[in-house]
Amino acid sequence: MHSPSPLRQLLLELLALALLVAGHLAIQWQLSGYYFTLKDGTIRWLPIVVSTTPALLFYAAARLILPNILSMVLVLAADLVLAVINQQKLGRINEVLSWTDLTETRENIHVVMEFIQPTHFAIVGAALVGLFIAYRLNRRVDNTPGFLIYKLLVIGFLTPLVFNDHLVNAEVLGKNNAYATFLKGADLKYRRSEWFQNSRIQGLVMHVIQTSARTMPRAVSTEELALAEATRKKPMPPVERRKKIVVILCEACWSDKTHFDEAYEPLRKLGFKGMTGVSPSYGGGTANASFEWQTGLPANGVLNGVVYQEYAGVMRKSVDSLAQSLRSDGYQTITAHNYRRKFWHRHEVKPKLGYDKFIGLEDMNLDGYQRKRNTWVDDEFLYKNVYSYIDSNEPVFLYLTTMYTHAPVWHKEGDMGRTDFGTRLEHAVQRVAEFAEYIRQRHDATIIVYADHKPLMTDYFLDSGVFSADMFFQTGKNDEGYLFREDADQKIIGSVPVYVYDKNEATVDAFVKEANGLPFYCQSTLFNKHFVGASVLAQQFALDKGLCQLNAQYNYEAMKQPYPSWLYRMSLFEH
């Protein structure tokens, strides 16, 4: 069989490249929300070209061992699958895809599989069929000396463009750096604190590559170190601290005054008082909500992504948190979650947060319990496995994370999941109330219960008026088809119920009045101020600077800005 002529080889190569670029741009346009134009309508020519370089590089690498059409289909298939995965993550937890999502799948796959739908198999199947057809039609690899040199030259040219430190660090390089100045002017700088926007500016694949360079708070200056030490020395306001302090994160346990409010009546009957808080998450990403409540730091801004997943390995062995401070004051610190220990790297992060013991699902006595299909392990077993710690004679700080109301797939039953979610919510809150009543009758305790985020019921929220259509730049036929606008108000997206109990009603009233409607990191700070009195650097800083003394009209994004980089470095990392 004769080799094709050089002209035919060239034409096939150009055809494959043209189809690759067209397909890549179409995927960015239809599935990734890529910005092809500026706000004034001007086409972003240079950023568009740069956004195609990862696809071209991977195509050139594949061409070393595969023919052109097959290489093109392979790269587009991977591009499509990444875009679909990104849409799923955005639709479910309003977080964009990152490098660690693709490299830390061993534990996350357990939850990922819960969300797999027939359409996902169809997409993967179509990609495989496309690859098979391309292989049958195009099996010859052209590695003549001329074409091999061409491939190597393309790889050598594109690699420094794609894996470019300046692209990642343009935002922080000096003003006199000409390359960084050019990148900024061309709208190509990496938005390290705005991943959602970055993915739409850089292109999804380039964004994923950029997130492989973890964003870390910069080194602490001598002046900042002195400020941190001075802040640590400032005493917390004196409080009447209880011997038992219990924080319960109730998974997706959402309500407001007109939706599911009756579910929380068991807590109100016990004397709990309610307010609202603002979660950094939506539909998932429980770890970020938990991070804010335990450290008093905003989860996103200086840090990126799901904090536990991105930073577990680089956090120092002892970070500043409520648990850490209480342990140093003689409290036994226990945390428990009726799910797998390793999910979101909790098994690494919890000890660093200062917990003496982390009880995961693997550690629990389930008494032969068998989980029903489309449900999670009943929260009853979460509480059963911590009674012994509550009843000990020691002072105890207990941080619990429930699971029963976790997504996915509320049974729709023609009402977008309202009935099924409502039933699960009532069950979960009743379990909380039973546990709280047990504690109240036997111990001097402060108890706070908060929902980590709204459940994944976007179509229901839009239909019932909780959300408005102008909050989305894309809507769909199911929950995953909805994508929030970048300027959608997190105070609406993240608004969730918070309930608190303490026998000193005046203190409870003061806390609710001061903390109502604020982000979790501020509510944690004010909870510490009124009930705990623990020395936690970020919370001492916030109180000293008055960062949580804001009215209901505050701007959610602006509120995070006064939390400086050095505060994260001193609180979480070696410095």
pLDDT for 309 beyond 70: yes
Long-range contacts of the stretch 123-131 (C-beta < 8 A, 24+): 123/80, 123/81, 123/84, 124/81, 127/77, 127/80, 127/81, 128/77, 130/73, 130/76, 130/77, 131/70, 131/73, 131/74, 131/77
For 22-63, how does the pLDDT look when each residue is reduced to its tens digit (9 = 90+)? 999 999 888 888 888 887 788 888 888 888 989 998 888 888
- Strand 273-278 versus strand 495-501 pairing type: antiparallel
Are 483 and 469 in contact, with CB atoms under 8 Å apart? no
Q: What pLDDT does residue 117 have? A: 59
Q: What pLDDT does residue 107 have? A: 56
Are 471 and 493 in contact, with CB atoms under 8 Å apart? yes
**140 phi/psi in degrees, rounded to 5:** -90, 130
DSSP 3-state assignment of 449?
A: strand
Q: What pLDDT does residue 68 have? A: 81
Question: Residue 178: which pLDDT band, with cuts at 50, 70 and 90?
Answer: low
Q: What pLDDT does residue 415 have? A: 82
Question: Residue 352: which pLDDT band, with cuts at 50, 70 and 90?
Answer: very high
Q: What pLDDT does residue 173 have? A: 45
**Cα within 13 Å of Cα(497), Cβ side:** 27
Radius of gyration of the chain (CA): 26
Rounding to the nearest 10 degrees, give the CA dihedral for residues 454, 338, 390, 247: -20
Beta bridge partners of 397: 245, 333
Element (H, E) at 484: strand 483-484
Q: What pLDDT does residue 123 have? A: 64
Q: Identify the weakest region by mean pLDDT among 151-160, 170-179, 439-448, 495-504.
A: 170-179
Are 135 and 73 in contact, with CB atoms under 8 Å apart? no
Sequence-distant (6+) residues with CB within 8 A of 465 are: none
For 448-494, how does the pLDDT look when each residue is reduced to its tens digit (9 = 90+)? 999 999 998 888 899 999 999 999 877 776 666 677 887 889 999 99
Are 139 and 67 in contact, with CB atoms under 8 Å apart? yes
Strand order in the sheet with 357-359: 273-278, 495-501, 445-451, 244-250, 396-401, 332-337, 357-359
Are 460 and 418 in contact, with CB atoms under 8 Å apart? yes
Highest mean pLDDT of the ranges 44-58, 258-272, 295-309, 467-481: 258-272
Residue with the larger pLDDT of the pair 172 and 105:
105
Are 200 and 35 in contact, with CB atoms under 8 Å apart? yes
The 3-class secondary structure across 312-357, one letter per residue, is: CCCCCCCCCCHHHHHHHCCCEEEEEECCCCCHHHHHHHHHHCCCCE
Q: Identify the weakest region by mean pLDDT among 13-17, 42-46, 177-181, 240-244.
A: 177-181
Q: Mean pLDDT for the chain?
A: 85
Q: What pLDDT does residue 38 have? A: 80
Give the separation between CA 494 and CA 472, rounded to whole angstroms: 15
- Strand 357-359 versus strand 332-337 pairing type: parallel
Average pLDDT of 2-24? 80
Give the separation between CA 32 and CA 198, rounded to whole angstroms: 11
pTM equals 0.82
User: Position of tokens 């790297």?
Assistant: 345
For 70-107, how does the pLDDT look when each residue is reduced to its tens digit (9 = 90+)? 888 889 988 988 888 887 777 666 678 888 777 765 55
For 544-573, how does the pLDDT look when each residue is reduced to its tens digit (9 = 90+)? 999 998 776 889 989 999 999 999 999 999
pLDDT for 170 beyond 50: no
Question: Residue 110: which pLDDT band, with cuts at 50, 70 and 90?
Answer: low
For 117-156, how does the pLDDT look when each residue is reduced to its tens digit (9 = 90+)? 556 666 667 666 766 676 566 556 666 666 677 778 877 7
Average pLDDT of 189-202? 76
Q: How do the residues of the chain divide into helix, strand and coil, expressed in percent and rounded to 5?
A: 55, 10, 40
For 386-410, how does the pLDDT look when each residue is reduced to its tens digit (9 = 90+)? 999 999 999 999 999 999 998 765 5
